[in-house]
Structure 1
């Protein structure tokens, strides 16, 4: 299989405010962790292709800095997100 890029499907933004007088920001938590093939011809191997392995559009997803090839013997996803892994993406990688 070609290079895999890990992408995060994020929840809708939640407005946060850190303190009075400080502009509020938007915080988005990770809803699901997906795998996508690297974009063909992209200058960086961390550029995801247009669809995840389960078929979802990657346009609104956030690319991570986690690289499975950079962590031999580890899972394809960051360990702290094990409970959020897309079962369909995981099944494709396992085959």
Structure 2
């Protein structure tokens, strides 16, 4: 089975430009999950993450995660917000 990394996003936060003026709203990554791919669509996310959350409002990670043995399934910059339940399933 193939998996896709998805991001559970937090509430929008207004970013400030370097001049201090309000900029675009950003939604910080609140939690990183793994979800199986949709049946017959290897680039589409299935309806639920491995921990059971709905993927409808989640953002799909760009690019592919590494598939090297021993490497994490999630992007390294989000290691602190990885879902422990998804991680436990992915490690087995």
Q: TM-score range by the shorter chain?
A: 0.7 to 0.9
Shift of residue 67 of structure 1?
2.6
Q: TM-score, normalised by structure 2?
A: 0.84
Shift of residue 15 of structure 1?
2.2
Change (3 A) 1:66 1:87: farther
Q: Residues 1-95 of structure 1 correspond to what in structure 2 (within 5 A)?
A: 2-18=1-17, 24-42=23-41, 45-68=42-65, 70-73=66-69, 74-95=71-92
C-alpha distance in structure 1 between counterparts of 2:63 and 2:82, whole Å: 14
User: Gaps (5+ residues) in structure 2?
Assistant: none
C-alpha distance in structure 2 between counterparts of 1:25 and 1:59, whole Å: 23
User: Gaps (5+ residues) in structure 1?
Assistant: none
Contact 1:7–1:35 (CA<8 Å) still a contact in 2?
yes
Change (3 A) 1:92 1:27: same
Contact 2:7–2:33 (CA<8 Å) still a contact in 1?
yes
The structure that is strand-richer by fraction is: 2
**How large is the Cα RMSD of the aligned pairs?**
1.9
Change (3 A) 1:87 1:66: farther
Q: TM-score, normalised by structure 1?
A: 0.82
